[in-house]
């Protein structure tokens, strides 16, 4: 029963990350019609997205700690209520400041309630197939641009941006509130999913408090690797379309390169998740980071569309595939008891890395009228992530049949 219900948790987590991240990132779809309708500047509207990133990172840490103490169900239920409320209020905003505060803060806080807590919840339900389960929850983020954003675009074309945002807010309530009620913790005395009887051997970090774990070498290496990984790929991802156009690729074809990266990232989450369950999460993470770094550096040597497509398949597979593995490592090192707090903190650090790439890439292009130094710098940072990942201490023996206190 535990094993089968674990897959329900995975499905719920994928749905939640898809709706929450899709609703937040759809601001790019609203941007042009909002600017025309309201007269607000595009920079002013876009600044709400910057607030979203910063707020989501900090909120993810807080929500992770709350989920450890009071249970994941309460956290995602509050997140569902806030997400719908934020979208409904933002659709009624009458000033740019009001819109930025509602969309950038309320929705950012809501979005942070889903990723880290649901990833942590999934790791508690699985011992075997844990990497695959975490990857499938994360895959919801990859599906979001192919579902929520096109739906928002259709609603805008049929009605207007306010109706579209209002409709998606109501849809978020309809989908996520019942889904939140399906979330539960694994049985307190049951063994991990798919694990038979065996000696009760706990990970070395299992007895640490959250404060002790956050200061441990294992967490510092994990967070630093996560930060460098995101800092390496965020700039090349964000500026990919502009870079391809600068290389002579037509605009629509350049957009398709970006879309192919996202689709490949979805496949990468599944492939690397399966490989991590078979040959070990640390080995797969190091290999994925190395492929990511080499792919970033290789963009300096491509100029034709077919070359961009080929490289984007590799790049998307690598950066998409490694992202869920940090949660698996955190669970391996520290166990499930403080998983929400630790992964929330790691996600907050990674969000800082994600925030660096777009602005640094813009500054580099403004200074040199070229993206070459962005890709050189990102390649170097990517190699730094590989080097730090190699410093991970040996993984502890997986816990078997350890009762863990947990609330619903």
What percent of the chain is predicted at pLDDT more than 90?
39
What's the confidence (pLDDT) of residue 195?
39
- Beta carbons of 252 and 231 less than 8 angstroms apart: no
Short-list 274, 249, 364, 256, CA closest to 316: 256
Helices (H), 71-129: 72-91, 96-101, 107-111, 115-125
Q: What is the pLDDT of residues 110-127, one digit of tens each?
A: 999 998 889 888 888 887
CA distances from 17 to 110, 114, 209, 218 (A): 11, 6, 28, 27
Q: Is the pLDDT of residue 208 over 90?
A: no
In angstroms, the CA 77 to CA 154 distance is 28
Please report which confidence band the pLDDT of residue 402 belongs to, taking 50, 70 and 90 as the band edges.
very low
CA dihedral for 286, 289, 291, 293, sign (positive or negative): negative
Number of domains, the chain: 2
Phi, psi of 193 (to 5 degrees): -60, 130
- Statement to judge: residues 130 and 225 lie in one domain: no
| Residue 215 domain flag | yes
| Ranges 75-79, 341-345, 402-406: which has the least confidence | 402-406
- Residue 94 binned pLDDT confidence (cut-offs 50, 70, 90): very high
Question: Taking 60 as the threshold, does the pLDDT of residue 270 lie above it?
Answer: yes
234 lies in the same domain as 175: no
Assigned domain for 200 exists: no
Determine, yes or no, domain membership for 195: no
* This prediction's pTM: 0.74
DSSP, collapsed to helix, strand or coil, labels residue 160 as coil
Please report which confidence band the pLDDT of residue 396 belongs to, taking 50, 70 and 90 as the band edges. low
Does residue 190 form part of some domain? no
In this structure, of 103-117, 255-269, 362-376, the range with the lowest mean pLDDT score is 255-269
> Is residue 16 domain-resident?
yes
Are 218 and 123 in a shared domain? no
Question: For residue 170, what pLDDT is reported?
Answer: 97
Please tell me whether residues 234 and 95 are part of one structural domain: no
The mean-pLDDT minimum among 5-9, 366-370, 399-403 falls in 399-403
Mean pLDDT of 283-296: 96
- What is the pLDDT of the chain when averaged over all its residues? 84
297-311, 336-350, 386-400: which has the highest mean pLDDT?
297-311
CA angle 202–188–77, rounded 5-degree value? 110
- Extended strands (E) in 155-213: none
Could you tell me if 32 and 105 lie in one domain?
yes
Is the predicted pLDDT of residue 352 greater than 50, yes or no? yes
pLDDT at 186 over 80: yes
d(CA 384, CA 314): 19
What pLDDT, on the 0 to 100 scale, is given for residue 120? 85
pLDDT, position 209: 80
Q: 258 and 130: one domain?
A: no
Task: Give the Cβ contact number of residue 356 at 10 Å.
Answer: 16
Which range among 16-30, 92-106, 303-317 shows the weakest confidence by mean pLDDT? 16-30
Residues 161 and 245 in one domain: no
Give every CB contact of residue 184 below 8 A, 6+ residues apart in sequence.
5, 9, 73, 408
Is 400 contained in some domain?
no
> 173 is in which domain, residue-wise?
2-181
Q: Is residue 229 part of a domain?
A: yes
pLDDT of residue 91: 95
- 138 and 214 assigned to the same domain: no
Degrees, nearest 5: CA angle 44-140-270: 130
Phi, psi of 126 (to 5 degrees): -130, 140
Residues 147, 224 within the same domain: no
Q: What angle do CA 89, 58, 35 make, to 5 degrees?
A: 40
On whether the CB atoms of residues 330 and 68 are closer than 8 A, the answer is no
Same domain, yes or no: 166 and 221: no
Does residue 227 carry a pLDDT above 90? yes
CATH assignment at residue 257: 1.20.1250.20
Q: Does 188 reside within a domain?
A: no
Whether residue 129 is found in the same domain as residue 46? yes
DSSP 379-392: HHHHHHHHHHHHTP
Query: What does the pLDDT look like over 142-166, one tens digit per residue?
Result: 777 678 878 888 898 899 999 999 9
Contact 397, 201 (CB under 8 A): yes
**What is the per-residue pLDDT for 403?**
43
Residues 120 and 9 in one domain: yes
Residue position matching structure tokens 């792919």: 295
| 319-333 average pLDDT score | 88
Name the residue with higher pLDDT: 187 or 217.
Answer: 217
């Amino acid at each position: 029963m535990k094993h089968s219900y674990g897959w329900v948790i995975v499905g719920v987590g994928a749905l939640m990350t898809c709706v929450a991240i899709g609703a937040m990132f759809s601001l790019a779809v609203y941007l042009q019609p909002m600017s025309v309708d309201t007269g607000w500047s595009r920079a002013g509207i876009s600044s709400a997205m910057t607030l979203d990133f910063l707020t989501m990172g900090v909120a993810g840490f807080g929500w992770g700690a709350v989920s450890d103490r009071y249970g994941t169900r309460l956290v995602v239920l509050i997140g569902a209520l806030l997400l719908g409320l934020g979208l409904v209020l933002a659709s009624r905003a009458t000033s740019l400041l009001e819109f930025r505060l509602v969309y950038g803060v309320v929705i950012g806080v809501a979005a942070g309630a889903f990723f880290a807590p649901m990833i942590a919840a999934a790791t508690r339900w699985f011992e075997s197939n844990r990497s695959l389960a975490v990857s499938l929850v994360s895959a919801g983020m990859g599906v979001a641009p192919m579902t929520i954003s096109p739906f928002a675009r259709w609603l805008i074309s049929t009605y207007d941006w306010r109706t579209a945002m209002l409709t998606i807010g109501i849809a978020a309530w309809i989908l996520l509130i019942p889904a939140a009620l399906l979330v539960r913790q694994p049985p307190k005395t049951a063994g991990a999913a798919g694990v038979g009887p065996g000696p009760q051997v706990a990970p070395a970090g299992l007895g640490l408090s959250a404060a002790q774990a956050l200061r441990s070498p294992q967490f510092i290496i994990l967070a630093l690797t996560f930060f460098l990984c995101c800092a390496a790929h965020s700039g090349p991802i964000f500026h990919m379309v502009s870079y391809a156009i600068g290389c002579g690729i037509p605009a629509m074809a350049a957009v398709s390169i970006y879309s192919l990266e996202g689709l490949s990232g979805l496949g990468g989450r599944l492939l690397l998740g399966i490989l991590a369950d078979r040959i070990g999460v640390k080995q797969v993470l190091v290999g994925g980071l190395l492929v990511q770094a080499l792919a970033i550096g290789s963009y300096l040597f491509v100029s034709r569309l077919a070359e961009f497509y080929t490289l984007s398949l590799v790049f998307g597979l690598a950066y998409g595939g490694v992202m869920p593995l940090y949660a698996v490592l955190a669970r391996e090192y520290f166990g499930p008891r403080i998983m929400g707090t630790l992964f929330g903190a790691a996600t907050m650090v990674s969000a800082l890395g994600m925030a660096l790439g777009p602005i640094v890439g813009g500054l580099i292009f403004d200074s040199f009228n070229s993206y070459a130094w962005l890709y050189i710098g990102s390649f170097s940072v990517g190699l730094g992530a590989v080097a730090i990942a190699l410093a991970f201490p040996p993984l502890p023996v997986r816990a078997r049949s350890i009762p863990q206190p947990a609330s619903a």
